[in-house]
Structure 1
Amino acid sequence: MSLQLPSLEEILENSHVVRLPMRVKFRGVTEREALLIKGPTGWGEFSAFLEYEPAEACKWLAAGIEAAYQPFPKPLRSSIPVNATLPAVPADQVGRVLENYDAPHTIKIKVAEKGQSLAEDVARVAETRRLYPQAALRVDANMGWDIPTAVEALERLSGFDLQYAEQPVPGITGLAQVREQLRARGIGLKIAADEAVRKHTDPLEVSRLGAADLMVIKAQPLGGIQAVLDIAKQAQLDVVVSSALDTSVGLAQAAALASALPELPYACGLSTGTLLAQDVTGQPLLAAAGYLPVRRVEPEMDHLKRLDPGEQRTAWWRERVARCYELLAAGAIERC
Structure 2
Amino acid sequence: MSFELPPLEELLAHSHVVRLPMRVKFRGVTQREALLIEGPEGWGEFSAFTEYGAAEAARWLAAGIEAAYQPFPEPLRTSIPVNATLPAVAAKDVGAVLERYDAPHTIKIKVAEQGQGLDEDLARVAETRRLYPQAALRVDANMGWDITQAVSALKALSEYDLQYAEQPVPGITGLAEVREQLRNAGNPLKIAADEAVRKHTDPLEVSRLGAADLMVIKAQPLGGISAVLDIAKHAELDVVVSSALDTSVGLAQAAALASALPALPYACGLSTGTLFSEDVCAEPLLATAGYLPVRRIEPDHQKLESLRPEEARVGWWRQRLESCYAELARE
- TM-score tier, shorter chain, comes to over 0.9
Matched, 1:3 2:3: yes
Deviation by residue 1:29-65 (Cα, 9 ceiling, x = unmatched): 0000000000000000000000000010000000000
- In structure 1, the gaps of 5 or more residues are 332-336
Q: Percent identity?
A: 79
1:298 aligned partner: 298
Query: Across the two proteins, how many residue pairs are aligned to each other?
Result: 331
In the aligned structure 2, how far is the partner of 1:55 from the partner of 1:296? Answer: 28
**Normalised TM-score (structure 2):** 1.00
Counterpart contact for 1:16–1:304, Cα < 8 Å? yes
User: Secondary structure of the equivalent of 2:159?
Assistant: helix
2:96 aligned partner: 96
Deviation, 1:206, is 0.1
Deviation, 1:3, is 2.7
In the aligned structure 1, how far is the partner of 2:80 from the partner of 2:270? Answer: 8
Deviation by residue 1:289-318 (Cα, 9 ceiling, x = unmatched): 000000000001100000000210000000
In the aligned structure 1, how far is the partner of 2:184 from the partner of 2:156? Answer: 15
1:334 aligned partner: none
Please provide the CA RMSD for this pair: 0.4
1:241-256 alignment to 2 at 5 Å?
241-256=241-256
1:123 aligned partner: 123
In the aligned structure 2, how far is the partner of 1:199 from the partner of 1:273? Answer: 24
- In structure 2, the gaps of 5 or more residues are none
In the aligned structure 1, how far is the partner of 2:115 from the partner of 2:185? Answer: 28
User: Secondary structure of the equivalent of 2:77?
Assistant: coil
- Letter of the 1:238 counterpart: D
In the aligned structure 1, how far is the partner of 2:158 from the partner of 2:68? Answer: 42
Counterpart contact for 1:216–1:239, Cα < 8 Å? yes
Deviation by residue 1:127-148 (Cα, 9 ceiling, x = unmatched): 0000000000000000000000
- Letter of the 1:38 counterpart: E
1:228 aligned partner: 228
Deviation, 1:2, is 1.4
2:187 aligned partner: 187
In the aligned structure 2, how far is the partner of 1:187 from the partner of 1:28? Answer: 31
User: Secondary structure of the equivalent of 1:180?
Assistant: helix
2:330 aligned partner: 330
1:201 aligned partner: 201
In the aligned structure 2, how far is the partner of 1:224 from the partner of 1:106? Answer: 25
In the aligned structure 1, how far is the partner of 2:269 from the partner of 2:260? Answer: 16
Runs (4+) of structure 1 exceeding 6 A deviation are: none
Matched, 1:168 2:172: no
1:157 aligned partner: 157
1:14 aligned partner: 14
- Letter of the 1:228 counterpart: V
User: Secondary structure of the equivalent of 1:192?
Assistant: strand
In the aligned structure 2, how far is the partner of 1:4 from the partner of 1:310? Answer: 32
User: Secondary structure of the equivalent of 2:280?
Assistant: coil
In the aligned structure 2, how far is the partner of 1:201 from the partner of 1:114? Answer: 27
User: Secondary structure of the equivalent of 2:123?
Assistant: helix
Deviation by residue 1:42-95 (Cα, 9 ceiling, x = unmatched): 000000000000010000000000000000000000000000000000000000
In the aligned structure 2, how far is the partner of 1:310 from the partner of 1:302? Answer: 16
1:72 aligned partner: 72
In the aligned structure 1, how far is the partner of 2:210 from the partner of 2:281? Answer: 42
**Normalised TM-score (structure 1):** 0.98
In the aligned structure 1, how far is the partner of 2:221 from the partner of 2:159? Answer: 33
Counterpart contact for 1:3–1:62, Cα < 8 Å? no
